[in-house]
Amino acid sequence: AQSVTQLDSHVSVSEGTPVLLRCNYSSSYSPSLFWYVQHPNKGLQLLLKYTSAATLVKGINGFEAEFKKSETSFHLTKPSAHMSDAAEYFCVVSDPAGTYKYIFGTGTRLKVLA
Amino acid sequence: DAMVIQNPRYQVTQFGKPVTLSCSQTLNHNVMYWYQQKSSQAPKLLFHYYDKDFNNEADTPDNFQSRRPNTSFCFLDIRSPGLGDAAMYLCATSGTSVGEQFFGPGTRLTVL
């Protein structure tokens, strides 16, 4: 069965410093992986996705993630945090093709300090 | 722009009074989803449709039902809302390939 573990429930960084949000997955096949961001009282917005093409994926707003099969990881990074990055981030893995379902991590709340 | 629309954005209902939330999409996606999200938690899948094929999660309460009259629209009916049903309800869509989901802005439900 597929699963996703977000290793940190809360991360605090200072504005202008790097961001690292960690995600490990478990999958019996080659998965599709996604990072979504959710600002308060809003829906989820896709940041980036991995679907078996390039292992280093670039997304919106300067975010990127690297798929590492040997480590079963898909960590999200950004070189320099901005105040507007403060939000909840979800790592998501696709369930096997045919179920059309997605497995969510528990989320990481990113706080950006001035 | 192609999108997922949810109405209303905020809904207040009374304990036990039926309520319907609506979702529409202009993406022409086959799959539509309803999620419940409580504060500081991940979205929890309630059910999803592949075209007209309805798929209910095993732990979705019987109080929750859904209708999908056509490709574009999907409704969530809560027959007798309890205080524990107060949450954000998110509608999402996806195409037939294993690509990303597209989310609507959500409906915040308050139960008095």
Alpha carbon A12 to its chain centroid, in Å, reads 16
Query: Taking the C-alpha atoms of B71, B75, B76 and B79 in order, what is their torsion angle to the nearest 10 degrees?
Result: -140
Q: Give the CB-side neighbour count of residue B102, counting CA atoms within 13 A.
A: 20
Q: Which two tokens stand for residue A88?
A: 């909840």
Most confidently predicted of A49-58, B1-10, B14-23: B14-23
Q: Identify the pLDDT of residue B3.
A: 93
- Residues of chain A contacting B53 with CB distance shorter than 8 Å: none
Q: How far is A43 from chain B (nearest CA, A)?
A: 4
pLDDT at B96 over 70: no
Chain B residues whose CB is inside 8 A of the A104 CB are 42-43
Q: Three-state DSSP class for A113? A: strand
In 3D, which of B80, B106, B109 has the Cα closest to residue B11?
Answer: B109
Mean of all residue pLDDT scores within chain A:
93
Q: Do A49 and B99 touch (CB under 8 A)?
A: yes
- pLDDT tens for residues B27-54? 999 999 999 999 999 999 999 999 999 9
Of residues A41, A45, A51, nearest to B99 (C-beta): A51
| Least confident span in A50-54, A74-78, A90-94, B101-105 | A50-54
A107 vs B104: CB contact, 8 Å cut-off? Answer: no
Q: Is A79 exposed, middle or buried (0-12, 13-18, 19+ CB in 10 A)?
A: exposed
Task: Judge whether residue A96 has pLDDT over 80.
Answer: no
